Amino acid sequence: MKGHIHILGICGTFMGGIALLARELGYRVTGSDASVYPPMSTQLRAAGIDLMEGYLPEHLQPAPDCVVVGNAMTRGNPLVEHLLNSGLPYTSGPQWLAEHVLHHKWVLAVSGTHGKTTTSSMLAWILEHAGMAPGFLIGGVPGNFGVSARSGASDFFVVEADEYDTAFFDKRSKFVHYRPRTLAINNLEFDHADIFADLAAIQRQFHHLVRCVPGAGLIVYRHGVPAIDETLAMGCWTESASFGLGGDSGADWRAELLAEDGSVFRATSPAGETVDVNWSHCGRHNVENALTAMAAARHVGVAPTVSAAALAAFAGVKRRLELLGQPGGVSLYDDFAHHPTAIATTLQGLRARAGSGRVIALIEPRSNTMRMGEHRGQLTAATAAADRVFWFEPAGMDWSLESVVADSAVPATTANDIDELVLQVSREVHSGDQVVIMSNGGFGGIHQKLLAQLQETSPE
């Protein structure tokens, strides 16, 4: 046993991944969280990790060798205050990852405002399919692996590279710790208004990341995004390759849709290698995610033909347009969309796949940025591909959703009671409808409540 670490905020996806890696590397791991809940609690307990509910000073008795502090921890938290007063060694999750896992690896990092989890999962699966046995740490659970993190059996490590801050004592973005050799930048928009004043502040953090990529590395980035172009123009010392949709897009890696919903597409590499991808996923955004993963995998020697075969067997990611069931012919999906662009692209992909069926969206604007109203002007347009929208107004919103409903070209209503919303939706839907629940949180358990209600009311 290498020693004992205790993790604060252990049930978050990232910190839970740190716990799994540490356990796999031979550490004794314990952890605290405000609430201990599945699916992460199930993964952790199965790995032999002791979980403690709440943040009590006695959780650090006996004293661990090091405390790893999640970025949800704040000054004033009783366990944080005890930690500081006790003089125990502590570090952040990204710093621990860098020092204990990544320091000798070829790191492939996937960054951007949207699509990080899906693209990281695709990339890890492509490398696995190619026999490269990568390690990974992903902010979700890839269906092909069933866990969010593992150390791997090779020199390659895929990490979801988040721009959110590191810890209460380190306000740099998490990703500056990772020192990638292969960096993907999916897209770049304003988000996280609780910690960033404007887009320029986010661009500065992305440029810190660009500064860390070696000259012998590769930066893969989305073509035609001014915010990315401006960031790279601040200084780039690494070979780069762009990706984009359309045969005449001007991008180095290009994809052409062979099916309107994106379920079949043709990818072309900078070297002129062409391959068709036929898979079970939809949406232009997922085609771009796949193209990103193919380009990053090519940097470590994976041919596009191998990537295409892997993508054909890609099982998706939990909570990324995850099909929960089809009671009474109604397809019910769970999606993590937390930004207007993510909402729009997901609904567009579902619209292309739905045929004559209706697309119905249930949306909880739960992220800090959404609650602050930073994106309110974009929400109406984001739902244009839906046929019906139910907006849920969570407690603590700084503004009212009534203006979004009033401006909507799509029939829309607001709700503030989960059970009433479940009943209302169940009365309106019918066979052939595609219903997607969109939130980056638990949405009051509406997923299982609506599934159960539809199962109860659907004809045998």
Q: How confident is the model at residue 340 (pLDDT cuts 50, 70, 90)?
A: confident
Beta bridge partners of 457: none
Contacting residues for 314 by C-beta, under 8 A, at least 6 apart = 121, 122, 125, 143, 144, 279, 280, 281
* Residue 280: pLDDT band with limits 50, 70, 90: confident
Confidence of residue 391 (pLDDT cuts 50, 70, 90): confident
Cβ burial 183-219 (10 Å sphere, 16+ → b, else e): bbbbbbbbbbbebbeebeebbebbbebbebbeeebbb
373 — pLDDT class (breaks 50, 70, 90): very low
State how far the Cα of 433 lies from the Cα of 330, in Å rounded to an integer.
5
Q: Does residue 317 or residue 68 have the better pLDDT?
A: 68
Rounded to whole angstroms, the Cα distance separating 159 from 40 reads 18
3-state secondary structure of 96: helix
- What mean pLDDT is predicted for residues 414-424? 89
CA dist 173 and 187 (Å) reads 16
- The reported pTM is 0.82
- Does residue 309 or residue 456 have the better pLDDT? 309
- Weakest-pLDDT range from 13-22, 100-109, 259-268, 408-417: 408-417
Least confident of 36-40, 126-130, 220-224, 248-252: 36-40
Q: What is the CA 356 to chain-centroid distance, rounded?
A: 30
Structural domains in the chain, sorted by start? 4-92 (3.40.50.720), 104-312 (3.40.1190.10), 322-457 (3.90.190.20)
Residues 171/148, Cβ–Cβ less than 8 Å: no
pLDDT bracket for residue 181 (50, 70, 90): very high
Residues in the chain: 460
Q: Are 23 and 147 in contact (CB under 8 A)?
A: no
pLDDT average, residue stretch 140-163: 93
- Whose tokens are 């490398």? That residue is 127
